[in-house]
Amino acid sequence: MKNMMKLLTNVFFILLLLICTTSCTNSDKKTFHNSYNDDLSSFDNRSLMNNVSVSPIRDFIIGGALNPALYYPEYKSCLDMVDNLFNLVVDEGRMNWKISEPVQGKVNFFAYLKSATWVKEHNKTMRNHNLFWTNPDEIPSWAKELSNQELRQAMSDRISYVASKGSDITSLDVINEMIVYDYFRTRLGNGIIKDIYAETKLALPLAKLYINENPYHVCTLKQCNISSKEEYKEFVIDKFLDFLDNLSDEGVIYDGIGLQAHFTDSAMISNKPFNYTNEDHIIIYDELITKIYEKTGKKVLITEFDFESNNETKRANFISDFYTMALNHPYTEGIIYWSWLTPVNKAIVDYDCKLNSAGQAYLNAISSVK
């Protein structure tokens, strides 16, 4: 009898362990954006960066973002997919100033350098995002407490540090999202954008320096006093071109134009002022890209694409349509899928790292280019 009780107890605990393991794994995959903690104390940034070499950007970019959690063993099958899905990767925000230097003078490039090493080993291209972000919430708290003069010096120090550890960087978002945020201009004056791009070019002469903007930041559907989608399209395009004119007037010299492309299923947008459809996103971007090229002579890199929809079929259809436009547009240099892995209502893979129907649509779209 005792042996029987012992056996039943063991079986119970084994079943409990299996249930916990399954539920914990699924939970982790739903939230692994926040599951990665960098180790500030046990890693020498220099030893890894000195062994990293980034190859030149290929003719057409089919890219994807690398989430730091991909380096955990349980996500190896997801990481293995990157080889087949993308020819370029961008580390998902780990170069961000707030993340990489949470304490002044203590720079932590662990996750970023992990990606750089993987890129080298797998013969991929890597672009870098971002050197500075004008969103006050994405600036280190210690930097916001500095005097204006100290802040300017801290920005120069960051440029110098990044250049000294990554002299072979070839593609870099220098200042992120200047349309909607204006922290550095407010603190340091209108000339700061020009100065930062010029200083970065001197430090990284081989790098292609980008602006990286979301054109919808000029005005969302709910913010604009607009009554038709044709009027909205013209407003977004005109205001974005005005933004480029302002940069030119300030003397800002940049090499590339990155357009973010974070979309939401129109069915999920409440209180729309007019009947805005998913197809209208594509119409706006198609025309905007042409107008940008006509104004600047620069092709556009779509730097951060994703489409939020709880309907996987809608997600698949939109991916197919948008990628078809982007891949065939004469004035695009590439497109990068940002949230391909998570969250589930944007992803092209399931929790088991197998392509879902949206992923199959993505694969079909890129097959003619990749």
33, 342 contact by CB (below 8 A): yes
Q: So where are the chain's domains? A: 48-366
277-305, pLDDT tens digit by residue? 899 999 999 999 999 999 999 999 999 99
String of b and e for 341-358 (b: at least 16 CB within 10 Å)? Answer: bbeebbbbbeeebebbeb
pLDDT at 271: 67
Calculate what percentage of the chain has a pLDDT beyond 70.
Answer: 82
Per-residue pLDDT reduced to its tens digit, 158-191: 999 999 887 778 999 999 999 999 999 999 999 9
- The SS3 of residue 78 is helix
Please name the residue ranges forming H helices in 258-366: 278-296, 312-328, 357-366
pLDDT of residue 331: 98
Q: How far apart are CA 264 and CA 63, in angstroms?
A: 20
pLDDT at 38 over 60: no
- Distance (Å) of CA 39 to CA 79, 97, 346: 21, 16, 29
Segments of the chain assigned E as strands = 61-66, 88-91, 125-133, 171-176, 208-213, 256-264, 300-308, 332-337
**What is the average pLDDT across 190-199?**
97
CB distance 92 to 67 below 8 Å: yes
DSSP secondary structure of 282-296:
HHHHHHHHHHHHHHH
Mean local confidence (pLDDT), 35-46: 34
SS3 167: coil
Pairing between β-strand 125-133 and β-strand 88-91 as defined by DSSP bridges: parallel
Q: Cβ neighbours of residue 32 under 8 Å, at least 6 residues apart?
A: 67, 69, 72, 75, 342
CATH homologous superfamily for the domain 48-366 = Glycosidases (3.20.20.80)
The pLDDT, as a whole number, for residue 370 is 52
Please, are residues 174 and 132 in contact by the beta-carbon 8 Å criterion? yes
Rounded mean pLDDT of the chain?
84
Higher pLDDT: 253 or 32? It is: 253
pLDDT digits (tens, 9 = 90+) for 139-152: 999 999 999 999 99
* Rounded Cα distance, 235 and 180, in Å: 15
Confidence (pLDDT) at 11:
41
pLDDT value at residue 310: 94
**CA distance readout (Å), 234 to 231, 262, 278, 284:** 5, 19, 17, 8
**pTM for the whole structure:** 0.84
Output the pLDDT for position 225: 79
Q: Please give the biggest Cα pair distance in the chain.
A: 88
Above 90 in pLDDT, residue 233? Answer: yes
pLDDT above 70 for 8: no
For residue 222, pLDDT over 70 is answered with no
pLDDT above 80 for 35? no
Q: Which of 113, 108, 118, 111 lies closest to 88, judged by CA?
A: 118
Q: Would you say residue 264 has pLDDT above 60?
A: yes
Does pLDDT of 34 surpass 80? no
Q: Which residue type sits at 333?
A: E
> 50 exposed, middle or buried (CB, 10 Å; 0-12, 13-18, 19+)?
exposed
- Report the range out of 109-123, 214-228, 254-268 with the highest average pLDDT: 254-268
pLDDT at 57 over 70: no
Per-residue pLDDT at 6: 45
What is the residue-wise DSSP string for 83-109? HHH-SEEEESSTT-HHHH-SBTTB---
- Report helix, strand or coil for 36: coil
Contact 290, 240 (CB under 8 A): no
User: By 3-state DSSP, what share of the chain in percent is helix, strand and coil, each rounded to 5?
Assistant: 50, 15, 35
